[in-house]
């Protein structure tokens, strides 16, 4: 339960940082939507890599628990 809560807190922290960054860039007149329109595939790649890494990590932890 504690591990799930930690992941949830981490996820919300990342979301808030991204939202704050978007508003900051918008306030200093950076055309953020043009940047996002060009770089959205990188967001998908990073998200996929994140899920892949933690999926492998979780699988290895389950394997270690079964071996113990």
Q: Are residues 15 and 36 in the same domain?
A: no
Q: In this predicted model, what pLDDT tens digit does every residue of 42-54 receive, in sequence order?
A: 988 998 998 898 8
> Of 66, 63, 43, 65, which is closest to residue 55 (Cα–Cα)?
63
Identify the band that residue 60 occupies on the pLDDT scale cut at 50, 70 and 90.
confident
Q: Give this prediction's pTM.
A: 0.49
Same domain flag for 37 and 65: yes
Q: Domain range for residue 56?
A: 31-68
pLDDT of residue 7: 65
Residues 67 and 35 in one domain: yes
How far is residue 45 CA from its own chain's centroid?
11
Residue indicated by tokens 């270690």: 64
* Helix 2-27 / helix 32-67 crossing angle, nearest 10 deg: 170
């Amino acid at each position: 339960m504690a591990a799930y809560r930690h992941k949830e807190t981490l996820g919300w922290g990342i979301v808030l940082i991204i939202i704050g960054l978007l508003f900051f860039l918008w306030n200093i007149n950076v055309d953020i939507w043009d940047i996002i329109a060009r770089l959205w595939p990188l967001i998908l790649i990073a998200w996929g890599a994140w899920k892949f890494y933690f999926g492998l990590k979780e699988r290895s932890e389950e394997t270690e628990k079964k071996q113990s």
